[in-house]
Amino acid sequence: MSGDDNGEGFPGGGDRSGVAAGQGSGAPLFRRLALIGIGLIGSSISHAARRHGGLAGEIVCATASAASREKALALGLVSQSYADPADAVVGADLVILCTPVGVCGDIAARIERHLMPGAIVSDVGSVKGAIVAAVGPHVPPGVHFVPGHPIAGTEQSGPEAGFAELYDGRWCILTPPAGTDTAAVEKLTAFWRGLGSSVEIMDADHHDMVLAITSHLPHLIAFNIVNTAAHLERVTNREVIKFSAGGFRDFTRIAASDPTMWRDVFLNNRQAVLEMLGRFSEDLTALQRAIRFGEGDVLFKMFEDARAIRRGIIAAGQDTPVADFGRAAVTPPASKGGA
């Protein structure tokens, strides 16, 4: 599938025809959705599924945090909340791992004997090759494994961080291994379209290379530049905070992302990240040279090309020209945020 999912009457685009076809007599697309992890991504899936109304008959979750279990129930995100993921997946026809990449394999090993025949197991991780390697061996015959990655998020975390609009107009990439049941892929595609996303099917290794440059490297740069500023001997932390310009504030927003999640991303996509980091270092050296030798035409061309990419992103509907990277367009109002 490609970028032609722009159905009318559907916030953020996306074709709902797959959802309608999957529901048939009016029954929900999935009878029981088990979310393993209920942070920003998991809670937003719950919000969006409940907004649609026809995607999941029942939504449950599992998380090791007692506070998160209580919060998920209090917010109405789930009907039941479990400490053990093996309990949550019993009877579930869709299981989505919404945890850091590094623990997905252990969770898969714990739930494999409890998965229902015909169920679909997916995830939301930003790295797909490592997920296929870690989770795949624990998916029993008769259960369908369709890895996924919704390209959406904020720097916030926890059950209260989610909101229904998070996936509207965003891409969700599915990376089914060779031989995956076509009907299972189509059904999960319909689910993500129902949440508001457009869906792309991609090879796992190619996904990891693409996301290394569009997501992982930018986060690495943000973490690094904020730490560089924090450790400058001639500039105090107070001055860094007091005189933060817009560009630096945007870096700090990205750098506020969950440390555990991003540690796992870099460790599990190291080859692609290192390749992109090497290319970035070469370009940074060229930029340094242009500044040192006063090559204004080189600088102008680099900045002009970068500006064109930004305009292309806006033209594609993946952001808006408003301040703060378009967050005003996607941040829910106070009456909705955190439910």
What is the pLDDT at residue 101?
Answer: 95
* In 269-295, alpha helices (H): 270-292
Mean pLDDT, all residues of the chain = 88
What is the pLDDT at residue 322?
Answer: 65
The dotted CATH code for 17-202 is: 3.40.50.720
Structure tokens given for 81: 């909340």
What is the pLDDT at residue 246?
Answer: 84
180 near 155, Cβ under 8 Å? Answer: no
Domain with CATH 3.40.50.720 in the chain: 17-202
For residues 17 and 102, the model is more confident at 102
Tokens 């998920």, residue? 72
DSSP reduced 3-state for 182: helix
Whether residue 19 is predicted with pLDDT greater than 50 in this model: the reply is no
Neighbours of 304 (CB within 10 A): 9
Domain with CATH 1.10.3660.10 in the chain: 206-330
For residues 1 and 159, the model is more confident at 159
**Tens of pLDDT along 202-225?**
999 999 999 999 999 999 999 999
- Class of the CATH domain delimited by 206-330: mainly alpha
Give the pLDDT mean for 291-296. Answer: 96
**Tens of pLDDT along 59-73?**
999 999 999 999 999
**Tens of pLDDT along 33-63?**
999 999 999 999 999 999 999 999 999 999 9
Give the pLDDT mean for 70-91. Answer: 98
3-state secondary structure the chain: CCCCCCCCCCCCCCCCHHHHHHHCCCCCCEEEEEEECCCHHHHHHHHHHHHHCCCEEEEEEECCCHHHHHHHHHCCCCCEEECCHHHHCCCCCEEEECCCHHHHHHHHHHHHHHCCCCCEEEECCCCCHHHHHHHHHHCCCCCEECCEEECCCCCCCCHHHCCHHHHCCCEEEECCCCCCCHHHHHHHHHHHHHHCCEEEECCHHHHHHHHHHHHHHHHHHHHHHHHHHHCCCCCCHHHHHHCCCHHHHHHHHHHCCCHHHHHHHHHHCHHHHHHHHHHHHHHHHHHHHHHHCCCHHHHHHHHHHHHHHHHHHHHCCCCCCCCHHHHHHHCCCCCCCCC
Beta bridge partners of 201: 174
**Tens of pLDDT along 220-272?**
999 999 999 988 878 888 888 888 888 899 999 999 988 999 999 999 999 99
Whether residue 112 is predicted with pLDDT greater than 90 in this model: the reply is yes
What is the pLDDT at residue 233?
Answer: 72
Tokens 């700090």, residue? 252
